[in-house]
Amino acid sequence: MMATNGKEAQNGGDDVLTDTAVVVNGAATEASSHSQRQNGGPERAERFTFTPKPTIEDIRRMQAEFTDERDWNQFHQPRNLLLAMVGEVGEVAELFQWRGEVAEGLPDWTESEREHLAHELSDVLIYLVELAEKCRVDLPQAVLRKMALNRLKYPASKVQGSAKKYTEYKD
Ligand SMILES: Nc1ccn([C@H]2C[C@H](O)[C@@H](COP(=O)(O)OP(=O)(O)OP(=O)(O)O)O2)c(=O)n1
């Protein structure tokens, strides 16, 4: 179980709630029907939460300022950003390689390894957000649309406890 960041949720009431989890004071309590997991494990009492800032739009704006200040827009076309993002994904993968399965919360990682991971994940996000901007994809809205589609494709009642792809369901 991943450690909490110790902060109260500060979502300002604008959460987009899913059908499986409700965020209450920084913890996620799952619907009672989900209280026993498939493997009989205990209910997930607390879930790690992010701080609400910066928003995705904040990140887009900060990266735009960063590139403008350096006259780097000339290099930041979609394909270059895609390649840069994939390179950073590779750097994330490098941190996990040869370690075998890693438990949620990374209990065996040092603080320095965790910070390194935080940097590499941030690089991926920064390039992803800029790629979306340069492709004129409004990422926050696109995520909402995609999650709605995901819920339709994978109704909780149908796929409960199964990791099968939607194409494998016969019904
Ligand atoms: N042309 C560039 C170069 C860097 N960056 C920004 C976005 C990323 O957040 C970060 C990437 O920097 P590096 O390419 O130096 O990669 P790392 O920070 O991962 O360094 P290293 O590859 O040494 O781990 O800097 C950018 O926007 N445009």
Tell me, using a 6 A CB cutoff, whether residue 46 lines ligand 1: no
Q: Would you state the pLDDT for residue 10? A: 39
ipTM of the predicted assembly exceeds 0.90 = yes
From residue 158, how far is each of 17, 29, 148 by CA, in Å?
19, 21, 16
The answer to whether the bond into 54 is cis (omega within 30° of 0) is yes
Quick count: other Cβ atoms within 10 Å of Cβ 126?
Answer: 19
Domains of the chain, first to last: 1-52 (no CATH), 53-155 (1.10.287.1080)
Atom of ligand 1 nearest to the CA of 122: 9
Residue 134 banded pLDDT, cuts 50, 70, 90: very high
Both tokens of 98, joined, read: 């040869």
pTM: 0.78
Nearest CA to ligand 1 atom 13: 123
What pLDDT digit, counting tens, does each position of 86-128 carry?
999 999 999 999 999 999 999 999 999 999 999 999 999 999 9
Tell me, using a 6 A CB cutoff, whether residue 117 lines ligand 1: no
SS3 state at 66: helix
Q: Hey, which of 76, 88, 121 would you mutate to test ligand 1's pocket, going by the most ligand atoms within 8 Å of its Cβ? A: 88
What pLDDT digit, counting tens, does each position of 34-83 carry?
444 445 445 565 899 999 999 999 999 999 999 999 999 999 999 999 99
- Give yes or no for a contact between 126 and 58, defined as CB atoms under 8 angstroms apart: no
Nearest CA to ligand 1 atom 26: 67
Tell me the C-alpha distance between 94 and 92, whole Å: 5
